[in-house]
Structures are given as C-alpha cells and as structure tokens.
Chains A and B, each alone.
Chain A
Amino acid sequence: MPKAAGDAKLLIQSLTKAYAATPTNLKIIDLYVVFAVATALVQVIYMGIVGSFPFNSFLSGVLSCIGTAVLGVCLRIQVNKDNKEFKDLPPERAFADFVLCNLVLHLVIMNFLG
C-alpha cells in the first residue's frame, strides 16, 4: 500500500510539474471549464435532493453550464499552439467564435428556461 500511495504521489507530482509548463491563457480556460462543470454539479446535486420539478429549468441550467464547458474546451483546442491543425487560426478569431457560440447557446437556453 505505501508503495502504491507513493506511486500515486509521484504521478501527481509529475503531472503538476508538467502542467506548470502550460501557458497562462490555457490555464485560465481550464479554470473556466472547471468552474462551469462545478456549477453544473451543484445543480445536479440540488436536483438529486429536491426533485426535478421544474424540469425544463433544471435542464436549461445544467445544459448552460455543460455547453459553456464544451465551448471552453473547443476554445482551448483552437488556442493551443501545440495543435498544428489550428496553426493558421489566430486566437482572436477563435475567441470571436467562442463569444458568438455562447450568445446563440444562451438565447436558446433563455427561451427554454421558461
């Protein structure tokens, strides 16, 4: 056991070290995605405790967070300089896409919210 615990510790340390090399703007996006998923989780827990009524509100709340997270991941893929296929795409263009998609998503969410 202690060996396994030690291995896990080692693994986490190496992962943290490798992640520290990530550019700051990617870290911001990661943080944003985590924030969105965490908010969704809170809502799921709430639903688990008190029930799914009104269901459309619950759905729009959770889907808003999940959609935002997914869009954040997309933004991260496009902004990451290591991804060669998006090399020609400027990060500003990616951000504009991100903003547009978010606005469209939330128009639908608001319509569904009731």
Chain B
Amino acid sequence: MAWRLPPLAVLLLLVAAAVAPLSSAVRPVSEAHRSVAAELFAASPDDLETTYEAVRTFKILGVQRDKGLDGKACKLAADRLSSSSSPAKDLFHAVQIAGVLACSVDAGVYDDVASRLKAVIKDTNSLLEFYYSVGGLLSLKEQGHSVVLSDADSTFHAIKALSQSDGRWRYDTNSAESSTFAAGIALEALAGVVSLSDAEVDPSMIGVVKNDIVKLFGTIKSYDDGTFYFDEKYVDGSEYKGPITTSASVVRGVTSFANVVSGKLNVPGEKILGLAKFFLGIGLPGSGKDCFNQIESLSLLESNRIFVPLILSLPSKVLSLTSKDQLKVEVTTVFGSAAPPLRVNLVQVLGSDSKVITTDSKELQFDLDNNVHYLDITPLKIDVGKYSLVFEITLQDSEHETVYTTGGRNTESVVVTGLIKVDKAEIGISENDAGSAESVEKLDLLKDTKVSLSANHLQKLRLSFQLSTPLGRTFKPHQVFLKLKHESKVEHLFVVPGSARQFKIVLDFLGLVEKFYYLSGTYDLELSVGDASMENSFLRALGQLELDLPEAPEKAPRPPAQAVDPLAKFRPQKEIEHIFRVPEKRPPQEVSLAFTGLTLLPFIGFLIGLMRLGVNLKNFPSLPGPAAFASLFHAGIGAVLLLYVLFWVKLDLFTTLKFLSFLSVFLVFVGHRTLSHLSNTAAKQKTA
C-alpha cells in the first residue's frame, strides 16, 4: 500500500496532532486579556452602553486609560443625566459610568435623576424598566448619595410577579415568553430593591426567590468536561442573546442577590466552578460585548458569597521525559490570585484510550515561592504518549470548604514526550523465491547513511527496524513512511507497517513494476518517522537503490507529469514561432502578361468583325436635344462602369451603392428619354 502524500500535508498532520489536545486549555485571566480588552475598546465608543462596558472592563482589569477619554466619557454621562428626556436605560448607564470613573456630578442633578427613576418604578410593569431604574438608584447610593426606596415591598412583589414556575422570568406582564436572561436581570433588580429598602424585606419572599434560584440552576446546561453555562430554552425567540450574555446575566443576578441576603444560597459548588470554567474557556473574546461579559462575570465569581471557584490549570501541557520535566499544577482563583492552603493529589492516570495506567494517589509538593504544586513524573513510570491526569484538591482548612469550591476531581490532558530509541535497523535485497536475504546491511538511523543497493524486478527490498520508548516498550508513531524517489523526480510513498516487535516493509518489485512506471535507474531512499510525543522525529536519507526494471510494454501507464517549479514562470520563456501561411505558387510574370494580351485578342476580332459587317452610327440622333440625351446616356453607363472599377480598386460596398443609387436614377431618366425617342423614330419610319 502506497500513499502519495505531499510533505506539507504530513507536516500539517503532525502539527495538528501536536496542538489539538492543548487548544481547550483553561487558564486564569492573564495579561493577554488586558491587551485584547484594550484592542477591542480602542475606538472611543459614542453610545452610553458601550462606553459603560469599556470603562467597567478597564476598571476590573486595572488597565490605565487615557485621561482625555475618561473625561470624554464623564462628559457624555453628565450630558445624559442633565437631559430631561433620557430614558431609564440611558440614566442607568450614565450613573454607572459616573460611578466607575468617579466623575463629579452635581448633587442637584442626582436628586433629579433619583426622583425620575423612582417615578419610573411606580408606573412601569416592564422588567427592563425596573432593572434600569433600580440599578441606577443603587449606583447612586453606592456613590454616597442617600437614596431610599420607601415602597420596597410592593416593588419587590411587582418584579416577583413576573417569575415563572421553572425559575425563569418574563419581560413584562403582557409577554408570554419566559427567558433565562430575564431571570438574571430580575434577580439583580431584586437584589437592588433589597439593598435600597429602608426596612427589612419580607423574609418569606426572599425564601421564595432563593427557591427560584435553585430551580434556575436546574436548567443549567453542561459540557462533558465539567463546564456549565446558561442558555435560553428556545433559541428562536426575538430576544435571544447567546450563552455568554445569558450566563453573564445569571451570574450577575445570582451573585448580587447572594450578597444582599442573609444565609447561603443552596447552589452546588461544582456549578459555580463550571460557570467559571465556561467563562475562562472562552479564552480571548472576539467582541467588546463578550469581553465585558466575560471579565465582569469572572470578577463577580472571584469574590462571591456562594462559592469562590478555584481553578486548577497546567502551565505546560507537554512534559518531556528527556529533560525530566516536573508536572506542575497551579491552583488559583479565576484572576490568578493565590488559593488558600490546599493539597493536590494525582489520583489517577488514564491513557489515550481511557485505559487506567495507575491509580496510586500521589501528593504534589507545594512550592510556596512560585505558588505551584509539582511532582516528578519519573517515579510514575509513565511512558511517552497522551494521558489524562485526574487531580483531587482538598482544602487544608475545613472552614474554607464553605467559601471555596474546587470541584473535587479535575481532569487535565497532557502529552508526555521522550527520545525514542531506534534499534536493529537493517536494509537488504533478497531473491524472490528463496527469501534468504543476501546482502543485509546494518543501518544507524540516528544519522544519514549512504547505503547503495542494486536490485532487479525479481528481487525484494527489505527494511526493518525497531522503535522503543524510554521505558523499553514498542513505540508506534503516527507516521512511518518510506519514500522512493526516482531521478526523474517521480516519488513513491509506502507506509511501513508495524507489528508487535518491529517495523518491517518488504517491497516486491515484481508486483510494483507497473506502479514504478517501468522506470529503471537510481532511486533515493528516504525514511520518515514522526509522532507528536516523539522528540527525535526524523526524516532520514538512507542511500540509493539502483533498480533494473524490464522495458515498458506498449500500453504501460506513463509517469505523471511533475509539478512545475512555481518560479519557472518567471524565467525567460521559450520563443514562440509563428506559423504563417505559405504563399501560393504564382506563375511567372511573363505568362500572365502574355495572357492579358491574349484576352484582348477576341476584342480585336470583335472590332474587325464589326467593321466587316459595316456597322455605323447613323441611327445616332441628329437633333441637338435627343443627341445630348443619348450622349448623357452613354456617359452615364461609362460612369457606372468607372464606379465599378473604383469599387474594385479602393471603395467599399456602401460608398459604391450610395453613388450608384444617384447615378442609376440619372441613368434611368436619360435612358428612358433616349430609348423612347429611338422607338418613336423607328415607329415613324415604319408608318412612313
């Protein structure tokens, strides 16, 4: 079996195989997020919402912004606050911007805004209006302005009235659609109402809402790797916002509600951890909106009252046996701050096919300086390949277990690489029938060798070698190819099959003559062995093979045309030889001239004949009038003939026809006059 794979494709396969398991790495928020955020919000936005998202993201990430931009945002916010026609949504964002940037806003303006927002709360039955006005009032309060919501209980009831039995919310009393996104908004608004209230809100109502949150977490969706996220039940709704926005809304609502009520919410820690993994799993976001949602949600999860998620991550997922790499594990919060004292155990190692390699629990050492847990992998006796490592995290302080969530077991995949030993490499030619190798040469595949072999079509080429891992097991790499390259650049690629002990290929040239296109001559032998976990993957030139194949029969397939060097088209091109029509054979000029004279002979004969007949012009009209017409008639005919000659020499058909039409009208006129005159005279003579 031979494949014709271009070398580039082989390389791509190798790279893809090496990178694929590493692409879904979960790492804490890093410097990369800061630069991405700076890039996404680089264009100074004009609308309030985007401006708020930008300033909030920068505040959380601690990115320093140009003072001028901050001033511009403050001015934008102040304009909206003092404008009497701004809707609640604009007021909300403007107050938030002012809060984040600590803009100086007149207390009178804030009084006015607060009374307008309170008026909105009284009148509305829309969830979004509630959310924006309560959120705006809350932000005013956080900025040190005294705001009190006097009828908190009724507002609480009005918002709660929109909730559904499954923990989701409706946008307003008229809408039939319920939404997870709306649930997050409602919870945040309720949290705001509780903190704005001057008196204690009815504890039984709080209990009902807590119950709603538990139900809401019942609708959470998950991936296989322990990632949890929220999404709408029906994605066809007009208000569909996607999982990132929806999850962020719920995180905002639940964490703020948990912060204002007493007691703990009954939400499983693994779901909080799964949400954190979901937001970290986004990696670097692609849009400003996603960036804001990701960063704000993570910052809320970083310090929430339910559970603070601790993320286990590997700085490097490739471990080399050669350099005796240590397995390093970091356990941090989502923003990368240090976790409380804890123990990390490696409890299980699974092979690439989920085969259990070892279940011995090993505790990782803790390096306090670098905040890294580490473990030597040599005593684990694991070989090269891909593995899933299962870690178990236990908090040392049992008090912390109500604050932090570690998710218990965490599975991470790693690639262990090492030097592969190449042994017992042999190449040789054997006779077809006997099978006894006659000329066997030992090869050292660690460096280029230059064997030189010769064979004919009745013989076989044998190549065998063994690959073993550092632990002495047989190693089967992804790709083992033998390439035969003819001097005319025709290539043949063979997959070298591997058995339990060794890799061995036997090329029987008798069956391959047709595949080789009967091309005798020198073939270069190349062996390539490659794998993602093989540190010494190689492409080795083995030497040359002088092949003597029989003559090609008539109908043998032709070797395919070789790919042209792409630079060849810039070289000087072959000169194009134009094929012109061979001129026709022409007679000598004398002959043609003689015949031109000859054609005149009949005319002379015609003239002589006329004279012999005694032709005269007596019938030509003698009266001046008719004579003039007769002369004009002849002149007209002569003119037409002259026109024909001109047509032949230089005029085109249209010009000719144009002149001819004038001439023919004239000719018809004078011809008619002349001929009718002649006819009349003839008739007169007859009658006379």
Contact = CB atoms under 8 A, between A and B. Distances in A.
Contacts of B9: none
Interface in B591-608: 591-592, 595, 598-599, 601-603, 605-606
A97 B592 CA distance: 35
A43 interface: yes
B637 A106 contact: no
Interface in A32-74: 32, 34-36, 38-39, 42-43, 45-46, 49-51, 53-54
Main secondary structure of the interface of A (DSSP, over half): helix
Given A31-B606, A32-B606, A49-B587, A107 B613 contact: no
B641 A39 contact: no
B671 interface: yes
B63 interface: no
Contacts of B664: 103
Contact of A111 (B605, B614, B615, B647): B647
B615 A28 contact: yes
Nearest to B633: A99
B664 to A, nearest CB: 8
A113 to B, nearest CB: 6
A24 B613 contact: yes
Nearest to A46: B595
Contacts of B644: 106-107, 110
A110 B602 contact: no
Interface in B553-583: none
Contact of A96 (B595, B609, B656, B671): B671
B678 interface: yes
Contacts of B640: 103
Contacts of B671: 96, 99
Nearest to A24: B613
B584 interface: yes
Given A35-B606, A38-B605, A99-B671, A24 B599 contact: no
Contact of A35 (B595, B605, B614, B647): B605
A42 to B, nearest CB: 5
B675 interface: yes
B648 interface: yes
Contacts of A34: 602, 606, 609
B603 A39 contact: yes
A87 interface: no
A31 B637 contact: no
B602 A39 contact: yes
Contacts of A106: 641, 644
Contacts of A9: none
Nearest to A35: B606
Given A28-B610, A31-B609, A110-B644, A92 B676 contact: yes
Contact of A31 (B584, B610, B675): B610
A32 B607 CA distance: 9
A111 B610 contact: no
Nearest to A27: B613
B648 A113 contact: yes
B42 interface: no
A51 B591 CA distance: 12
Contacts of B672: 96
Contact of A92 (B586, B647, B656, B675): B675
B619 to A, nearest CB: 10
A46 to B, nearest CB: 4
Interface string B645-688: 10110000100100010001000000110011011001000000
Contacts of A99: 637, 671
B653 A39 contact: no
Nearest to B657: A107
Contacts of A24: 613-615
Given A28-B610, A92-B675, A111 B587 contact: no
A14 B512 CA distance: 99
Interface in A87-114: 90-93, 95-96, 99, 103, 106-107, 110-111, 113
B585 interface: yes
B605 A92 contact: no
Interface string A1-36: 000000000000000000000001001100110111
A106 B645 CA distance: 10
A54 B605 CA distance: 28
B668 to A, nearest CB: 9
Given A28-B615, A50-B587, A113-B648, A35 B603 contact: yes
A111 B660 CA distance: 14
B29 to A, nearest CB: 88
Contacts of A49: 587, 591
A71 B682 CA distance: 24
A99 B584 CA distance: 37
Contact of B675 (A45, A50, A96, A111): A96
A35 to B, nearest CB: 4
Given A92-B679, A96-B671, A110-B644, A51 B599 contact: no
Contacts of A32: 606
A43 B599 contact: yes
Given A31-B613, A106-B644, A51 B585 contact: yes
A35 B676 CA distance: 29
A110 B613 contact: no
A107 B676 CA distance: 26
A11 to B, nearest CB: 22
Contacts of A53: 584-586
A106 B637 CA distance: 12
B587 A35 contact: no
A37 to B, nearest CB: 8
B611 to A, nearest CB: 11
A42 B613 contact: no
A92 B678 CA distance: 7
Contacts of A107: 644, 647, 656, 660
A70 B78 CA distance: 108
Nearest to B591: A50
8 contacts: A24-B613, A28-B613, A31-B613, A35-B602, A38-B601, A90-B679, A92-B679, A93-B675
Given A34-B609, A38-B602, 13 more contacts: A24-B614, A24-B615, A28-B613, A35-B602, A42-B599, A46-B595, A92-B679, A92-B682, A93-B675, A95-B675, A107-B660, A110-B647, A111-B653
Closest 3 pairs between A and B when the two form their complex, measured CB to CB: A38-B602, A50-B587, A35-B606
